Amino acid sequence: MKIIGASEGTLSQKLLFGILGLGFVLIIWIFLTAGAQPILRPVILPSPLSVLRAFPEMFVENKLIQNIGFSIGLNLSGYIEAIVLTIPLGFLIGLVKYTRWGFQKQVDALRYVPLTALTGLFIVWFGIYTEMKIHFLAFGIIIYLLPIMIQRIDEVDDVYLKTVHTLGATGWQRLKTVYFPSVVSRLSDDIRVLTAISWTYIIVAESVNAGQGGLGSLIYSAGMRQVRSDKVFALLIIIMIIGVVQDKIFIRLDKELFPHKYQSKTSLKSSRIEKKGLLSVIQDYVVTAISWISFGLFTVMVLQEFIPVFGDSKPLAFVFGDSVRVIYLVYILLVIFLVWKWWSRRSDAEALAGLTKKQAA
């Protein structure tokens, strides 16, 4: 049997085997739950049909869309707060020897803190509403991300540091040109991995004051109070879908923010362009089109929140509830990013044009 890398194979092959794998899992699921006396009781493993029926029921009875939006808003809020705190704190501890001597051991010990045991303390400190849940999620991400960031600082290639030292770079210049791009580009992969952990803790956070909403509160209500395993499985499927979509978005952002990480892969693909295939080309166009259409719709909804053109409805506030402020922040960051990309491309084009003129002269 030939052993190949996960990235090998065409898009159509990956899609085909993905569908086959999903079909195999579905067949096993049906086999275990079919009949009047199934192998596994419905309370343990509900049938696929009962799980499918749970979606419209929750949509009507449990305000599913609003609960999904609230959980996504909490997740994004926790992530942004954690990243904003971790990056400067990580550089302070990782690069300044006195703070490293004083806090390295404490940072390493943070990873062993049972976060669920701190729920009571966060309630005492911040109450039982959205603010507490955001800080709880941020802390859950920080205790994992901060030690990893210090490790990434230690992994910076010494040859780059020696090069900038030879060129007479100051401490600030070393941070700006070597440490920051190297550490943050690697840290983005770790942030992606922590997506799963953040969704684990969001269930814990939302079980506090469950009446406020969220997928975690629905799982708590369906599993603990109603004993509705079909609803629990449906909600878990929703969380997995959201996680997969988040992962794809993180990958796309990573490619846009840190293109140097993918230069070797891009050059390899371009050298075998004839093997790319029509399906991959179509996918690229579809993804680009969907991205710009989504951004346009996002812009319209944000404007509707402040300039009610289409009536008094506020769709973002309706879906995301108390966590809607982070959605506004995400939009602002997205606009800044797009402007930065446009300016960078324009500057590169002008520099290339100037170089071409000099060569021609």
- Cα angle: 199, vertex 204, 207; to 5 degrees: 120
Q: How many structural domains are present in the chain?
A: 2
Residue 194: inside a domain: yes
> Which of 209, 233, 261 is at the close of a domain?
261
- Candidates 290, 268, 234; CA nearest to 5 is 268
- Candidates 209, 240, 197, 217; CA nearest to 71 is 217
Asked whether the beta carbons of 132 and 126 are under 8 A apart, the reply is: yes
What range does the domain containing 99 cover?
59-261
> Which of 261, 293, 314 is at the close of a domain?
261
Share of the chain above pLDDT 90, in %: 11
Q: Which amino acid is at 218?
A: L
pLDDT of residue 27: 92
pLDDT of residue 110: 80
Residues 100, 149, single domain; the answer is: yes
Rounded to whole angstroms, what are the CA distances from 199 to 71, 76, 137, 176, 241?
A: 9, 11, 9, 33, 12
Q: Is 133 left (phi over 0), alpha (psi -120 to 50) or beta?
A: alpha
DSSP assignment of 55-113 equals HHHHHHHS-HHHHHHHHHHHHHHHHHHHHHHHHHHHHHHHH-HHHHHHHHHHHHHHTT-
Residues 109, 183, single domain; the answer is: yes
Q: Which amino acid is at 181?
A: P
Residues 257, 294, single domain; the answer is: no
Residues 218, 96, single domain; the answer is: yes
Residues 175, 100, single domain; the answer is: yes
Q: What is the DSSP letter of 43?
A: T
| Residue whose tokens read 């909600």 | 235
Average pLDDT over residues 103-130: 84
Asked whether the beta carbons of 135 and 201 are under 8 A apart, the reply is: no
Which of residues 336 and 97 earns the better pLDDT score? 336
Asked whether the beta carbons of 188 and 79 are under 8 A apart, the reply is: no
Give the model's confidence band at 273: pLDDT under 50 very low, under 70 low, under 90 confident, else very high.
very low
Residues 331, 190, single domain; the answer is: no
Residues 167, 236, single domain; the answer is: yes
Instruction: Flag whether pLDDT at 332 surpasses 90.
Output: yes
End-to-end CA distance of the chain, in Å?
A: 59
Q: Tell me the pTM.
A: 0.82
Residue 16: inside a domain: no
Residues 98, 180, single domain; the answer is: yes
